Amino acid sequence: MATALTLVLGFLSVTYTFFAILLRLTQHIQEPPAVAKTIPFISPLFGFIHGMQNFMVNLRDRYDLPIYTLRMPGQRVYVVNSLHFISQIQRQIKTIAFAPIEAQAADAVMGVGPAGNAIIGSKRMFESDSYLSTFILSTHPALAPGPGLDSLNGAAIRYLSNATKRLAQGGPTTVDLFSWVRREFFMATTESIYGPKNPFRDPKLEQAWYDFEPTIMVHMLKVWPHMFARKGHNAREQLLIPAFERYFEENGYLQGSVLVRCRHEHNTVHGLRDRDLAATEIGQMAAQLANSIPAAFWMIYHIFSDPAVLGDCREEVERLMQVDGDGRHVDLANVKTLCPVLLSTWQETLRYEHVGISARVVMQDITIDKYLLKKGATVMTAVPVQHSDPSLWGPTVGIFNHRRFLRTPGAREKRTNPAAFRSFGGGTVLCPGRHFVTTEVLSFAALLLLRFDIEPAGGDKWVMPRKSAPMTTTMPVPRDVVQVRITPRDDQNYHVCFSESNRGFDLVAEDSPGGGH
């Protein structure tokens, strides 16, 4: 027994020494310092497995480094904490690139075939006229402030207005808050994008998406998804992609939004056809829904669970109403200009709840300031690191303050560097749909504030649900059921519209004059 134990300890000692020497020999002196070396190559792997976000926050607090290296088996990861380095890296769009990850997602997650992948992931992906380089620009007519965006938001708001009208007519209702928000937001978004031929009017297709979405990371990592994510894989292959094929074959997109028409034109101009064209919509669905649904849930939760937030937001949105003998008239385009507290609450929800991690690939050796970043490595930024930094947000960083982002004399805190707010990314990977989802969420919240009281079912107190942070989303989802009672506040007629505004929101540094530079 003692001999066996001695052999095991000897083996572990030799293995540790080998890994330590290997780390020292393969870590260039100019690279960012390697951390988490208790067990070389293994400690960072365990940290990632047990929760990347918390692991990176803990490493920030422990080492206080602007950038550092995590060495794992077969992989270098450079983790960036400093806003200075984030802005530097964002400028290196070809050398420290997001495009290879997009190309991998087309293949692994969307299910695009060989012909389509040859177009999306071609060696020309960094050229100015390539599929990936021109994709975001192709969506500007629909997602940049203007008529296309107004039409998109107007369609979503019409659905939400009708949904809340039906809810009010049914009297007090008890629901699981997350499931209810998910359903209404899912349908409002897909209706506004895909129009009268929306495939997701079929409940089987909606359920197929819920089956597929949790398996996105298994698909991305290519861990035999047909075996280990069979339900999600079958949902994609047998239901979702065929449904989008029929949608395009029947010209459903011609009755859809400017957004889906822009995407169709971009895809066909670059040569995507048939199944490959349909498969790209899987990626667009993830972009449109995976984060916006849980974000909408947390927005509603934070508003109605806190009397101070509820009072401030409700007082503000009630100014949107015009009352006459015909009922109450609400133009929800005015949330863009008349609801600064509601907007601040949305931004604080994203700051407080966001768990996203962004990644890029180093395409060739490059020196940023004094640090060498080596070809093939992954560069990561973890939003919780920036969003929980007291040096950026002050001593109340850990407290939900719905007035934090106000720029009026009534604001409680000095406004921080706008680049510290990372919920919509930045640089070339800045979320193009930020104005759409912000208008959608704020309008949804305004309708609920105007028409309903929402309280825990059974008269209980609000209890913060436990959270789960899927690797496929940037917002956590509740692990616990949040059962609530939704009660109409009155029986008045509400006439809801969304007029043209041609305005967006000042959400991120790039939206400000000068574009954050």
Q: Report pLDDT digits (tens) over 313-340.
A: 999 999 999 998 888 999 999 999 999 9
Most confident of 10-19, 355-364, 447-456: 447-456
DSSP state of 34: B
What does the pLDDT look like over 18-73, one tens digit per residue?
Answer: 777 888 888 999 999 999 988 888 888 888 877 888 899 999 999 999 999 999 88
Contacts of 398 (CB under 8 A, 6+ apart): 388
Whether the predicted pLDDT of 300 surpasses 50:
yes
| pLDDT tens-digit series, residues 356-386 | 888 999 999 999 999 999 999 999 999 999 9
129 has a pLDDT exceeding 50: yes
Please say if the pLDDT value at position 408 is more than 70: no
Confidence (pTM): 0.93
Q: What are residue 354's phi and psi, to 5 degrees?
A: -65, 135
Q: What is the pLDDT of residue 8?
A: 65
Q: Is the pLDDT of residue 10 over 80?
A: no
Crossing angle for the helix pair 177-194 and 434-451, to the nearest 10 degrees: 130
Predicted confidence (pLDDT) at residue 279 exceeds the cutoff of 50: yes
- Domains by residue range for the chain, with CATH: 131-354+388-511 (1.10.630.10)
Q: Which of 286, 423, 287 is nearest to 343 (CA)?
A: 423
pLDDT tens, position by position, 244-272 = 999 999 999 999 999 999 999 999 999 99
Check residue 325 and give its pLDDT: 82
Q: What is the rounded average pLDDT of the residues 379-400?
A: 94
Does the structure show a pLDDT above 90 at 474? Answer: no
Q: What is the pLDDT of residue 48?
A: 83
pLDDT at residue 516 in the model: 46
What gap in Å lies between CA 477 and CA 466, rounded to an integer? 9
> What pLDDT does residue 49 have?
78
Range name among 13-17, 377-381, 410-414 with the lowest pLDDT average: 410-414
- Cα separation values, 454 from 180, 262, 384, 450, 459, Å: 13, 39, 29, 11, 11
Q: How confident is the model at residue 427 (pLDDT cuts 50, 70, 90)?
A: confident
Q: ∠ at Cα 126 (375, 274), nearest 5°?
A: 120
Average pLDDT, the chain: 91
Residue 124: per-residue pLDDT: 84
What is the Cα–Cα distance from 61 to 191, expressed in whole angstroms? 45
Burial of 398 (0-12, 13-18, 19+ CB in 10 A): exposed
Q: With bands split at pLDDT 50, 70 and 90, how would you rate the model's confidence at 480?
A: very high
323 vs 16, higher pLDDT: 323
| Six-digit token string for 139 | 């969506």
Residue 501 confidence (pLDDT): 80
**What is the model's pLDDT at position 191?**
98
> Is residue 262 annotated as involved in ligand binding?
no
State the pLDDT confidence band at 222, using cuts at 50, 70 and 90. Answer: confident
State the pLDDT at residue 515. Answer: 53
- The whole-angstrom separation of Cα 123 and Cα 114 is 14
